[in-house]
């Protein structure tokens, strides 16, 4: 049966997943017997559209690319009505992250779960702030709340822990969790200025809608909170995680580190010691011989310290249109396979 999707948010990630779905349509059908229709999209810039038989996605991508409003299948329903009344069975919640309140995304996810629709999201708001509530609501309604895209874009982290690493106890997770700042630090080392490189990171779709979230470390703190809750099973609050960003790191600091055979990295970590879980985000000067020192650009890396395998490290893209779009595909396929 065709999976029917409603997308909330048609920005970087929303367009990314649509491009992937269109490009891989035949492959997904042949390899996984996966077929889809995007039946509804809501976006505060382009408008809300609904067609129970499937929207004209190529036209919508064209219109978004030209910064024009949608013109076909336009409805005057608000987001919640659209989620509840459309015939989709999965909500892809791809609106921008608000780590203070969770933003409207919390209401979007709640509405979908209450109406028996699965939720797949890259939005860190509902996940970092309300994971327990969302998971309980999903369980109650016999649907899934899947969040691979909230940590390290499509690089498998949540699914790695749930799948291949199941059975291992994880005592510590440490690594580079924010693509924007890692990209900025890498480019600053090559001589680019802070403001200039931040602008490029925004253009490349790495940075949050408000990039303060990246440079002050709040985005990485949200991810540390997600890992603490989901991987460690600890109900850690976002405010329990100590947080310092990269705003105080100057070009001089970067040069000095180079002189000492080292490199600045923004490091997020979660640790379980004597039953207590703690989390932190802070810049660290890492010796060049350390594996994390070689992780450059928008790449993320996470080392899981486990009881059965010792350290397991995963390195991969941490941000970007297609890279985060892929995280949505991976969770959509998971729903398809397990339905």
Site string for ligand HSE, 215-244 (x = CB under 6 A): ----x-------------------------
Strand partners for 302: 175, 314
From the number of C-beta atoms within 10 Å of its C-beta (0-12, 13-18, 19+), residue 169 rates as exposed
Q: Within 10 A of 248 (CB to CB), how many other CB atoms are there?
A: 8
Q: How far is CA 125 from CA 109, 150, 157, 226, in A?
A: 11, 9, 18, 10
d(CA 296, CA 303) in angstroms, rounded, equals 16
Of the CA atoms within 13 Å of residue 38, those in its CB half-sphere come to: 27
Question: What DSSP letter does each residue of 44-73 carry, written as one string?
Answer: TTTEEEE-TT---HHHHHHHHHTT----SS
Residue 178 lies near ligand HSE (rule: CB under 6 A): yes
Please enumerate in sequence order all residues whose Cβ is within 8 A of that of 151, keeping only pairs 6 or more positions apart, or say none: 157, 158, 177, 223, 226, 227
CB 137 within 8 A of CB 111: no
Task: Supply the minimum distance, in Å, between the C-beta of residue 247 and ligand HSE.
Answer: 15
Residue 319 lies near ligand HSE (rule: CB under 6 A): yes
Task: Supply the minimum distance, in Å, between the C-beta of residue 305 and ligand HSE.
Answer: 22
Residue 179 lies near ligand HSE (rule: CB under 6 A): yes
Using CB under 6 A, which of the segments 14-22, 50-58, 205-213, 304-312 binds ligand HSE?
Answer: 205-213
Q: Which is nearer to ligand HSE, 13 or 39 (CB)?
A: 13
Note if 144 is an active site residue: no
d(CA 126, CA 172) in angstroms, rounded, equals 24
Q: Which is nearer to ligand HSE, 34 or 131 (CB)?
A: 131
Q: Which is nearer to ligand HSE, 49 or 160 (CB)?
A: 160
Site string for ligand HSE, 114-153 (x = CB under 6 A): ---------------------------------------x
Q: Which is nearer to ligand HSE, 92 or 207 (CB)?
A: 207
CB 94 within 8 A of CB 123: yes
Among 208, 234, 322, 331, interactor with ligand HSE by CB under 6 A = 208
Q: How many residues bind ligand HSE (CB under 6 A)?
A: 11
Task: Supply the minimum distance, in Å, between the C-beta of residue 211 and ligand HSE.
Answer: 8
Using CB under 6 A, which of the segments 30-38, 188-196, 200-208, 253-261 binds ligand HSE?
Answer: 200-208
Q: List residues near ligand HSE by CB under 6 A.
A: 153, 178-180, 206-208, 214, 219, 318-319
Query: Which residues are marked as active site?
Result: 223
């Amino acid at each position: 049966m065709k999976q029917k999707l409603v997308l909330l948010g048609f920005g970087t990630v929303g367009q990314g997943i649509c491009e992937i779905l269109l490009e891989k349509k035949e492959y997904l059908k042949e390899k996984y017997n996966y077929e889809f229709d995007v039946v509804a999209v809501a976006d505060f810039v382009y408008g809300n559209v609904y067609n129970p038989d499937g929207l004209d996605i190529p036209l919508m991508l064209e219109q978004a690319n030209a910064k024009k409003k949608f013109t076909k299948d336009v409805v005057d329903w608000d987001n919640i009505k659209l989620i509840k009344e459309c015939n989709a069975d999965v909500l892809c919640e791809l609106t921008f992250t608000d780590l203070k309140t969770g933003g409207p995304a919390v209401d979007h996810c709640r509405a979908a779960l209450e109406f028996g629709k699965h939720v797949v999201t890259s939005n860190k708001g509902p996940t970092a702030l309300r994971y327990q509530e969302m998971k309980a609501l999903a369980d109650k309604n016999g649907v899934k709340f899947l969040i691979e895209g909230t940590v390290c874009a499509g690089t498998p982290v949540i699914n790695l822990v749930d799948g291949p690493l199941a059975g291992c106890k994880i005592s510590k997770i440490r690594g580079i969790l924010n693509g924007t700042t890692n990209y900025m630090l890498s480019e600053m080392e090559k001589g680019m200025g802070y403001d200039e490189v931040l602008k490029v990171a925004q253009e490349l779709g790495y940075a949050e809608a408000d990039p303060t979230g990246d440079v002050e470390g709040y985005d990485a703190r949200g991810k540390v909170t997600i890992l603490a809750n989901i991987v460690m099973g600890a109900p850690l609050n976002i405010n329990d995680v100590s947080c310092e960003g990269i705003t105080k790191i100057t070009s001089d600091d970067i040069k000095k580190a180079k002189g000492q055979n080292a490199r600045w990295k923004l490091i997020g970590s979660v640790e379980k010691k004597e039953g207590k879980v703690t989390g932190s985000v802070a810049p660290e000067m890492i010796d060049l011989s350390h594996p994390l020192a070689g992780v450059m650009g928008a790449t993320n890396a996470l080392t899981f310290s486990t009881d059965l395998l010792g350290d397991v490290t995963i390195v991969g893209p941490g941000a970007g249109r297609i890279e985060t779009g892929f995280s949505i595909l991976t969770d959509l396929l998971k729903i398809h396979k397990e339905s």
